[in-house]
């Protein structure tokens, strides 16, 4: 009864403000144990432990030095200002609008941001790797065309030297870069604004870069298998992401708190902010521990209105 009365009488609270409609109940950086689906033909959804959990953030100083087999010896810096410039140009050419439209798959804004970000990053790095100078605004679309038609081999060092080498991203994240860039290539050729008059490309001319991207995806398969094996239950227990006693131990953690939530005074839960916060935390924790087969992502993304409806009718 305390649960139901607490929810139905919330409007009477004077000292507690209700959560806003757009407030996330659980922070998206929560670490949870989940099954991984590693499919090289589809976009791999990044989890909360991914190297890129915030799509609209960008490292302001990404510096890489190449002292490899060739005669090149240089420092590359992808600064935030250059990245924003490329991002803006791609968006003005209709890239963002396309992927959010029906033809582009009606992707969510965060997913589209990843595609734009990664494409911009690739264009900047490959241009600087080739020309040893910063990519300027008037060269962005021209370089994109050049990369597709003749300089597509630069995608390989971008993947090996920059993503895997300097940034040390996981195989699944590297694969996501290549997958997103493949989508960007198709947009550039077939759906870009003014594509007939401004740096046009025939569909058949993209065979080289698409073949390379396909080869890169396949080359990640062994590493993806190793990554998947590293996320077994034993590894989760060892890393502290899951209790050694399994589900029973996980539920035992909440036993005392759940009993506390059942026994507290309804008046105290409605009038004391500290008690209210603890009560809400116990309620959310109990929902997760007692519903292991539920979709934790749904709880993380639920807004306050959906959350309270879920509690009331469950």
What tens digit of pLDDT does each residue of 172-220 get? 999 999 999 999 999 999 999 988 889 989 878 888 999 999 999 999 8
pLDDT of residue 2: 46
Question: pLDDT confidence of 69, banded at 50, 70, 90?
Answer: very low
pLDDT at 138 over 80: yes
- Rounded distance, CA 92 to CA 89, Å? 5
- Rounded distance, CA 139 to CA 161, Å? 24
pLDDT at 311 over 60: no
Residue 195 CA: distances (Å) to CA of 56, 142, 145, 161, 247: 27, 12, 11, 32, 56
pLDDT at 262 over 60: yes
pLDDT at 46 over 90: no
Share of the chain above pLDDT 90, in %: 36
Query: What does pTM read for this prediction?
Result: 0.55
- Rounded distance, CA 58 to CA 13, Å? 42
pLDDT of residue 77: 65
CA dihedral 42, 102, 48, 173 (to 10 degrees): 40
- Rounded distance, CA 152 to CA 34, Å? 36
Contact 203, 192 (CB under 8 A): no
List pLDDT tens digits, range 98-137.
999 999 999 999 999 999 999 999 999 999 999 988 999 9
**How many residues appear in the chain?**
314
């Amino acid at each position: 009864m305390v649960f139901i009365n607490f929810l139905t009488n919330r409007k009477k609270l004077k000292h507690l403000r209700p959560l806003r409609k757009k407030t996330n109940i659980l922070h998206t950086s929560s670490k949870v144990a989940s099954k991984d689906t590693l499919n090289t033909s589809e976009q791999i959804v990044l989890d909360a432990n991914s190297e890129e959990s915030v799509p609209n953030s960008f490292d302001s100083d990404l510096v890489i030095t190449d002292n490899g087999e060739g005669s090149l010896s240089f420092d590359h810096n992808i600064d935030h200002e250059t990245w924003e410039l490329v991002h803006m140009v791609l968006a003005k050419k209709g890239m963002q609008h396309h992927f959010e439209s029906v033809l582009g798959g009606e992707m969510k804004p965060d997913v589209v941001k990843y595609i734009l970000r990664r494409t911009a990053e690739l264009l900047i790095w490959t241009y600087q790797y080739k020309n040893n100078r910063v990519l300027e605004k008037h060269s962005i679309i021209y370089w994109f065309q050049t990369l597709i038609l003749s300089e597509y081999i630069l995608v390989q060092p971008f993947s090996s030297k920059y993503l895997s080498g300097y940034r040390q991203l996981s195989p699944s994240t590297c694969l996501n870069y290549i997958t997103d860039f493949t989508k960007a290539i198709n947009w550039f050729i077939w759906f870009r604004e003014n594509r007939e008059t401004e740096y046009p490309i025939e569909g058949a001319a993209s065979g080289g870069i698409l073949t390379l991207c396909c080869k890169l995806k396949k080359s990640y398969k062994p590493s993806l298998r190793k990554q998947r094996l590293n996320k077994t239950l034993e590894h989760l227990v060892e890393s502290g992401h899951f209790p050694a006693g399994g589900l029973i131990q996980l539920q035992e953690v909440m036993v005392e708190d759940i009993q506390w939530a059942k026994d507290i005074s309804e008046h105290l839960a409605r009038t004391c902010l500290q008690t209210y916060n603890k009560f809400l935390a116990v309620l959310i924790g109990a929902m997760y521990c007692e519903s292991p087969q539920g979709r934790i992502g749904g709880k993380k993304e639920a807004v306050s209105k959906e959350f309270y409806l879920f509690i009331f009718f469950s």
